[in-house]
């Protein structure tokens, strides 16, 4: 045991690892989560979805393999077995929240979101109703607002505050929202209306745990808490979103009698997904209105008359259709794990890891003394908040005070085998609150093209989201340490490395004695030319090739689109790498082959050989006009990629893109076909050789088990040069290849696609070479290798000699 772990156990040993449980944390990991250690994976997104135990799944499959469960809407023996297991499951859910079946009912839903939607649909909204919710709420809770507003109710967010003068609670209202106010009658008594207050037991952005005392305070003292606001009138009901909080601290409904509680089972114990529950108080259930009826919810109905008699039990009334009874049968095995470890034990275990990681992050300093990490955490009083949960959200800063983008953190973490979450986590209110984003900031970001799950992590110098790590009952100290080591290694400046993520021209690793011991040639020449006619498919190499206004003739001139409109690439369909291409310019034909197709496809290059069907598509925020290929061509490609698709040919592009902020294209001056960023990608053989030396060094250091060597074609370049020093191309401002002039547009940002290995008909993914490149080729969130080029003076291309590139031509660069 290392010194660091000994120090950790001195502080947290009484809480960490279930010291009084049936198994220690090390035993749990060794027997129930072997897949994590075998894959070297560090999983830190338990707030998104926790992991299932391998023993848990074995017990589930043993149960399903040994018993017969029938549709519960029957009276057979198999159906009776299902009814009994469902009854036991309902009781387990109630027991977990310490809810008496005399007071509560458990309604199974397709998830926590479906439970929230049920409340929104069935709640008796009217013009006198109010939907009040804390700023820290998931989008699935905010969606209830649509039902409230559509029925004339008022909706407003609140900040729950604890005044300095006393230990009480008050709410601070945000602007009140209301629609169609004139349509509703004046004078309807507001005292007869029902109101709903919603809050999460644990915020999935910050880990803030709201005190459940809010249940009693809102239900019994709404007038005092809202300080005489007109909105306190009527009867207040309380909804707790416990989807996240239940995993470590389920609400005790015997003490805090909330009217509605929603639960997600995959966040409790990983499996099953697609199953949630709504716990509803019996008196609150009476006011819910169900319009739709279905199989299982009615006692009788007439097909040719407006007559239906609904079932009276709450569960049967709201569980539309046949419930997911096999999933319900499996939750007992998950609860068996949680009950053996106990909720307080899980809470203490995850809290010890959360507090340790928080302390370590806050202690990080750059070489100049600047703090590395900003953690988003509420400092509310105990009246509002129990101890923090199992979540830490943060952003990282460079020594100069600028922010690292959260996507950069996520990308590098993934390469290191660490799975975490970034963004706003579907919690826009908490995100805006903790990041200090105003309404104008949010609207400006939206206008700039930023939407959920995109790569726009920094806009106008401000983060648009955060990095989140969260711990589960099976998380370990070793997980936490690997994460902290990763942050320190990748983002903290030391006397030996930059913490700004800036590229420092690296000294190459000397070649071995078997390598080029005579040093580097001072003369560079063009080693190979490769054309990729179909985007993301295989290319072909030539000795010479003509240039056009879009780059190499026919390069990225075709693409494959699915019938749903998705542009297919190797990132999503790796098998596209097995589609090979070649072009015979003299015959005007393109030849395409695939191991999945017996016939070699021939495609005529003449424009008039295509169908008259044209359409516009959007790619990288640019608009293109494309031509459709014939049906037999589309059928061939559908067989080649294993899904229905069409082959489209570039016809023309619009000069203006829909949103320049979203346009990844680096070359905004030239015409481009379907290339991502520029007309050409150039790779240096010497740079690749240096990368291979670094990969070999990883093996010698023991950080990699098997040697890996890559060739330049792994990077899908158009041009490969030989000669000169490694990475000399980084400093080139322009260059000449033969008589043709090119402008450098900077380095090419590499992605996971270079980690796809294809050979012997198989596709494999690894972390290399991107992981090694990330250690020395990072520039503010980008991992650069190779340079992008634009060819000058190609407005009038032709097949003249000077409009061709030729292998062997000399390369003459002009540096900055």
The residues annotated with a catalytic role in the active site are 426
Q: Distance (Å, rounded) from C-alpha 709 to C-alpha 700?
A: 14
Q: Distance (Å, rounded) from C-alpha 76 to C-alpha 82?
A: 10
| Omega before residue 272 within 30° of 0, cis | yes
Query: What's the gap between Cα 435 and its chain centre?
Result: 19
Q: Distance (Å, rounded) from C-alpha 393 to C-alpha 463?
A: 13
Strand (E) positions, 417-463? 418-419, 421-423, 458-459, 462-463
Q: Give strand pairing partners of 763.
A: 758
> Measured on CA atoms in the order 639, 586, 535, 503, is the torsion positive or negative?
positive
Listed in sequence order, the residues at least 6 apart from 142 whose beta carbon sits closer than 8 Å to its beta carbon are 133, 428, 429
Q: Distance (Å, rounded) from C-alpha 414 to C-alpha 410?
A: 6
Using DSSP, state whether 633 is helix, strand or coil: helix
Listed in sequence order, the residues at least 6 apart from 513 whose beta carbon sits closer than 8 Å to its beta carbon are none
Q: Give strand pairing partners of 737.
A: 740, 811
Q: Distance (Å, rounded) from C-alpha 736 to C-alpha 738?
A: 6
Q: Distance (Å, rounded) from C-alpha 383 to C-alpha 41?
A: 39
Cα separation values, 712 from 179, 618, 717, Å? 61, 30, 7
- Cβ atoms of residues 813 and 729 within 8 Å: yes
Structure tokens at 733: 């401002």
Structure tokens at 714: 């792994």
- Cβ atoms of residues 560 and 574 within 8 Å: no
Residue 58's φ and ψ, nearest 5 degrees, are -60, -40
Listed in sequence order, the residues at least 6 apart from 294 whose beta carbon sits closer than 8 Å to its beta carbon are 320, 321
- Cβ atoms of residues 549 and 794 within 8 Å: yes
Query: What's the gap between Cα 359 and its chain centre?
Result: 26
Structure tokens at 112: 């926590």
Structure tokens at 251: 């609400």
| Omega before residue 769 within 30° of 0, cis | yes
> Measured on CA atoms in the order 385, 391, 393, 397, is the torsion positive or negative?
positive
Residue 609's φ and ψ, nearest 5 degrees, are -90, -5
Using DSSP, state whether 726 is helix, strand or coil: coil
Residue 745's φ and ψ, nearest 5 degrees, are -100, 10
Structure tokens at 462: 């401000």
Q: Which of the 8 DSSP states describes residue 465?
A: S
Q: Is 215 left (phi over 0), alpha (psi -120 to 50) or beta?
A: alpha
- DSSP for 217-275 reads HHHHHHHHHTTT-GGG-SEEEEEEE-TTGGGT----TTTS--SEEEEESHHHHS--SS-
- Cβ atoms of residues 226 and 367 within 8 Å: no
Structure tokens at 330: 């499996």
200: number of Cβ within 10 Å: 27
Q: Give strand pairing partners of 171.
A: 160
Listed in sequence order, the residues at least 6 apart from 66 whose beta carbon sits closer than 8 Å to its beta carbon are none
- Tell me which residue has tokens 């619009």: 654
In this structure, the chain runs to a length of 816
């Amino acid at each position: 045991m290392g010194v660091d772990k000994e120090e950790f156990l001195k502080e947290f040993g009484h809480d960490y690892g279930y010291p009084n449980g049936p198994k220690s944390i090390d035993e749990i990991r060794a027997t129930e989560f072997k897949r994590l250690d075998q894959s070297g994976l560090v999983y830190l997104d338990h707030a998104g979805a926790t992991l299932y135990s391998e023993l848990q799944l074995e017990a589930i499959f043993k149960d399903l393999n040994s018993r017969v469960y029938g549709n519960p809407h029957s009276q057979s023996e198999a159906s009776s077995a299902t009814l009994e297991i469902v009854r036991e499951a309902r009781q387990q859910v109630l027991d977990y929240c310490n809810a008496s079946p005399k007071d509560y009912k458990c309604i199974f839903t397709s998830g926590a979101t479906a439970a929230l939607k049920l409340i929104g649909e069935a709640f008796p909204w009217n013009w006198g109703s109010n939907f009040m919710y804390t700023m820290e709420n998931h989008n699935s809770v905010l969606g209830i607002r649509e039902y409230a507003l559509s029925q004339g109710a008022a909706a407003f967010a609140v900040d729950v505050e604890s005044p300095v003068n006393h230990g009480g609670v008050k709410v601070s209202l945000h602007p009140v929202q209301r629609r169609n106010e004139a349509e509703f009658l004046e004078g309807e008594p507001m005292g007869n209306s029902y109101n709903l207050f919603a809050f999460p037991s644990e915020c999935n952005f910050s880990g803030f745990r709201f005190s459940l005392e809010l249940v009693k305070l809102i239900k019994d003292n709404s007038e005092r808490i809202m300080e005489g606001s007109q909105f306190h009138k009527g009867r207040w009901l309380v909804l707790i979103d416990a989807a996240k909080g239940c995993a470590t601290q389920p609400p005790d409904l015997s003490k805090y009698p909330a009217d509605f509680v929603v639960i997600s089972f995959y966040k409790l114990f990983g499996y099953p997904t697609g199953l949630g529950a709504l716990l509803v108080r019996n008196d609150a259930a009476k006011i819910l209105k169900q319009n739709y009826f279905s199989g299982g919810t009615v006692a009788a109905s007439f097909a040719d008359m407006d007559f239906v008699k609904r079932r009276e039990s709450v569960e049967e009334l709201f569980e539309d259709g046949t419930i997911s009874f096999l999933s319900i049968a499996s939750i007992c095995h998950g609860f068996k794990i949680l009950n053996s470890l106990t909720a307080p034990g899980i809470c203490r275990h995850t809290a010890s890891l959360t507090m340790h990681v928080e302390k370590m992050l806050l202690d990080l300093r750059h070489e100049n003394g600047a703090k590395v990490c900003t953690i988003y955490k509420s400092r509310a009083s105990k009246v509002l908040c129990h101890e923090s949960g199992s979540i830490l959200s943060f952003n990282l800063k460079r020594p100069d005070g600028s922010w690292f983008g959260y996507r950069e953190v996520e990308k590098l973490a993934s390469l290191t085998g660490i799975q975490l979450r970034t963004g706003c986590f579907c919690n826009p209110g908490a995100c805006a609150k903790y990041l200090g984003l105003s309404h104008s900031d949010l609207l400006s970001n939206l206008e700039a093209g930023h939407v959920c799950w995109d790569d726009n992590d920094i806009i106008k110098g401000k983060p648009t989201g955060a990095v989140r790590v969260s711990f589960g009952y099976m998380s370990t100290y070793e997980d936490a340490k690997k994460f902290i080591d990763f942050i320190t290694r990748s983002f903290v400046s030391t006397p030996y490395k930059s913490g700004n993520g800036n590229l420092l021209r690296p000294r190459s690793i000397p070649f071995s004695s078997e390598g080029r011991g005579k040093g580097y040639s001072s003369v560079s020449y063009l080693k190979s030319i490769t054309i990729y006619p179909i985007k993301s498919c295989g290319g072909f190499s030539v000795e010479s090739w003509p240039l056009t206004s879009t780059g190499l003739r026919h390069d990225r001139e075709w693409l494959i689109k699915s019938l749903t409109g998705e542009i297919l690439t190797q990132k999503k369909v790796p098998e596209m790498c097995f589609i090979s291409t070649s072009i015979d310019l003299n015959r005007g034909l393109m030849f395409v082959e695939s191991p999945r197709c017996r016939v070699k496809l021939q495609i005529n290059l003449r424009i008039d050989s295509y169908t008259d069907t044209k359409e516009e598509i959007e790619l990288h925020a640019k608009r293109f006009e494309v031509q459709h290929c014939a049906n037999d061509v589309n059928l061939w490609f559908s067989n080649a990629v294993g899904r229905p698709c069409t082959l489209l040919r570039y016809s023309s592009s619009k000069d203006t893109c829909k949103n320049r902020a979203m346009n990844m294209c680096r070359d905004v001056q030239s015409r481009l076909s379907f290339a991502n960023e520029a007309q050409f990608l150039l790779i240096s053989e010497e740079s690749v050789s240096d990368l291979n030396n670094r990969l070999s060094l990883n093996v010698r250091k023991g950080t990699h088990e098997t040697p890996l060597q890559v060739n330049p074609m792994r990077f899908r370049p158009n041009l490969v040069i030989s000669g000169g020093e490694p990475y000399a191309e980084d400093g080139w401002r322009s260059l000449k290849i033969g008589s043709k002039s090119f402008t450098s547009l900077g380095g090419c940002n590499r992605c996971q696609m270079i980690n796809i290995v294809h050979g012997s008909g198989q596709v494999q993914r690894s972390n290399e070479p991107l992981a090694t490149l990330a250690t020395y080729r990072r520039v503010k969130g980008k991992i650069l290798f190779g340079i992008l080029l634009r060819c000058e003076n190609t407005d009038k291309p032709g097949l003249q000699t000077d409009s061709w590139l030729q292998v062997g031509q000399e390369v003459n660069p002009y540096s900055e």
